[in-house]
């Protein structure tokens, strides 16, 4: 990675990010319907501590306070998701105007504070009624997603110009339908691959609907979680394990979106568990419609080692075992969650995208953050941010077109299957009192933004 330091250009977007189920709470308020995460959280052992997003950060009632926090941070943008079941409680049919009104108030107030709303249409909270009909395994869910996108755009399109269709379809499909660690908690092979395909199809159908109703200045993109996958050793077995893991996490999504083609090794890798009968002629043209931007979420690099299926813990096996395990390199610095902290992996991701995809659109780093126990003097987070922002500067110096950075997250929140123990916020949340307290990293990032990338020190 080059060590050259470059200033962030004028107009570079600085923001924070959240997701509806992680912060809103108010799961029964004002006509919201149940989501797959409401259901999953009631499954014994599914979520640490038996916790749920029922109350979370109560953002649904405290959103004005949270906008004030963004204003004090100096953020010029805020990435948040709409809760599909808050807008269409059954996933289709009747529209809940009270849900749309909530997001309208939020978006309008953000603009009053000169904060650009970046809206994610789907951040994992599928209406339970659609899951009961097959969920993302079923092609109809992609059609219903396009209907929902149209409803959202009709209500908010005059105040929201930046639309993100999906957040991390890998997690929605593979972690949710193959590994069972996220909602809906399924352990399937063919069904998980169908979910991945139908998520991408839903993205393409929704993109077409948004563009058919486009207003001046509107842009549409998608957010992917990207983890460059490297062999844990120099062995051929580990190299092939890294290829399989890279396909699972990265290329089964990026190739259809950015090349208009299925990854060449899909059949070789997954042919034993699927006949790919969910694919139809014309799907790739829908999925591969040009993007206005690509959102990249980066947290860590994957070091892949071969792990024969028969050696796996039977309790942890899925129908999707690839014979791969992730290892932490000896001596690697790790976050409070044990994730390896390798900012060079972000540089590697950005350069790799540029080299593999000639028609790559501009990139936004839509999530990047550090998990710990919630300490207010969070010097670990400051170091993480400093190093990863330097990696972005280096990639830009190497020719990558990066337009903005969204820190994950504004607030400590419900961290999915980890419950509330893992804290990613620039702002500490006392979940008993809902008191917000700015952490040291909040003040560090505020100075960084104010100086447009000049490190204010610790």
CA geometry: angle 53, 296, 438, nearest 5 deg: 50
Instruction: Give pLDDT, residue 314.
Output: 53
The strand pair at 427-430 and 435-438 is best described as: antiparallel
The full 3-state SS of 305-316, as one line of letters, equals: EECCHHHCCHHH
**Is the Cβ–Cβ distance between 297 and 225 less than 8 Å?**
yes
pLDDT over 70 (residue 318): no
pLDDT over 60 (residue 313): no
Q: Which of 24, 168, 179, 188 is catalytic?
A: 168
pTM equals: 0.96
Distance, in Å, from the CA atom of 410 to the CA atom of 438, rounded to the nearest integer, reads: 10
Instruction: Give pLDDT, residue 293.
Output: 98
Instruction: Give pLDDT, residue 7.
Output: 77
What is the CB neighbour count within 10 angstroms for residue 215? 12
Instruction: Report the pLDDT averaged over residues 9-22.
Output: 97
pLDDT tens digits for range 377-435: 999 999 999 999 999 999 999 999 999 999 999 999 999 999 999 999 999 999 999 99
Instruction: Report the pLDDT averaged over residues 362-370.
Output: 98
pLDDT tens digits for range 427-445: 999 999 999 999 999 999 9
Instruction: Report the pLDDT averaged over residues 313-340.
Output: 81
Q: Indicate the pLDDT class of residue 337, thresholds 50, 70 and 90.
A: confident
Long-range contacts of 454-457 (CB under 8 A, 24+ apart): 455/386
Q: Percent of the chain at pLDDT above 70?
A: 95
Q: Which of 116, 188, 342, 367 is catalytic?
A: 367
**Is the Cβ–Cβ distance between 377 and 436 less than 8 Å?**
no
Instruction: Report the pLDDT averaged over residues 225-249.
Output: 97
pLDDT over 70 (residue 341): yes
Q: Which two tokens stand for residue 271?
A: 């042919």
Instruction: Give pLDDT, residue 456.
Output: 64
Report the length, in residues, of the chain. Answer: 458
pLDDT over 60 (residue 323): yes
CA distances from 213 to 223, 408, 434 (A): 21, 31, 39
pLDDT mean across residues, the chain: 95
pLDDT tens digits for range 109-162: 999 999 999 999 999 999 999 999 999 999 999 999 999 999 999 999 999 999
pLDDT over 80 (residue 4): no
Q: Indicate the pLDDT class of residue 310, thresholds 50, 70 and 90.
A: low
Instruction: Give pLDDT, residue 1.
Output: 40
Q: Indicate the pLDDT class of residue 3, thresholds 50, 70 and 90.
A: very low
367 noted as active-site residue: yes
168 noted as active-site residue: yes
Q: Indicate the pLDDT class of residue 457, thresholds 50, 70 and 90.
A: low
What is the CB neighbour count within 10 angstroms for residue 162? 22
């Amino acid at each position: 990675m080059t060590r050259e330091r470059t200033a962030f250009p004028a107009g570079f977007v600085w923001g924070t990010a959240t997701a509806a189920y992680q912060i809103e709470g108010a799961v029964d308020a004002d006509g919201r319907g149940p989501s797959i995460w409401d259901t999953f959280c009631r499954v014994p052992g599914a979520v640490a501590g038996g916790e749920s997003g029922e109350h979370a950060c109560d953002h649904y009632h405290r959103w004005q306070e949270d906008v004030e926090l963004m204003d004090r941070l100096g953020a010029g943008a805020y990435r948040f998701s709409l809760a599909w079941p808050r807008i269409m409680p059954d996933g289709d049919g009747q529209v809940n105007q009270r849900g749309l009104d909530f997001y309208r108030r939020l978006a309008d107030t953000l603009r009053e504070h000169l904060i650009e709303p970046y809206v994610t249409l789907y951040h994992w909270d599928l209406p339970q009624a659609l899951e009961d009909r097959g969920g993302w395994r079923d092609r109809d869910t992609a059609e219903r997603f396009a209907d929902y996108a149209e409803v959202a755009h009709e209500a908010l399109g005059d105040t929201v110009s930046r639309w993100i269709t999906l957040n991390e379809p890998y997690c929605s499909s593979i972690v949710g339908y193959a590994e069972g660690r996220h909602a809906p908690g399924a352990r399937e092979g063919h069904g998980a691959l169908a979910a991945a395909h139908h998520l991408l199809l839903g993205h393409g159908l929704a993109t077409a609907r948004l563009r058919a109703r486009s207003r001046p200045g509107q842009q549409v993109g998608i957010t992917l979680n990207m983890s460059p996958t490297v062999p844990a050793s120099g062995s051929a077995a580990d190299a092939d394990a890294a290829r399989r893991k890279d396909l699972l996490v990265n290329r089964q999504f990026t190739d259809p979106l950015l090349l208009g083609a299925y990854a060449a090794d899909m059949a070789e890798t997954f042919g034993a568990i699927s006949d790919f009968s969910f694919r139809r002629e014309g799907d790739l043209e829908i999925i591969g419609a040009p993007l206005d931007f690509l959102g990249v979420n980066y947290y860590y690099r994957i070091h892949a080692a071969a792990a024969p299926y028969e050696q796996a813990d039977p309790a942890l096996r899925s129908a999707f075992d690839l014979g791969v395990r992730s290892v932490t390199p000896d001596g690697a610095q790790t976050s409070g969650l044990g994730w390896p902290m390798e900012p060079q992996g972000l540089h590697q991701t950005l350069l790799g995208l540029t080299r593999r995809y000639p028609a790559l659109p501009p990139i936004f780093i839509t999530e990047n953050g550090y998990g710990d126990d919630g300490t207010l003097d969070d010097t670990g987070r400051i170091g993480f941010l400093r190093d990863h922002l330097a990696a972005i500067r280096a990639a830009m110096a190497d020719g990558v077109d990066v337009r903005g950075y969204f820190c994950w997250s504004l607030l400590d929140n419900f961290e999915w299957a980890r419950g509330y123990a893992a804290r990613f916020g620039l702002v500490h949340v006392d979940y008993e009192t809902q008191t917000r307290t700015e952490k040291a990293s909040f003040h560090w990032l505020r100075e960084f933004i104010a100086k447009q990338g000049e490190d204010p020190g610790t």
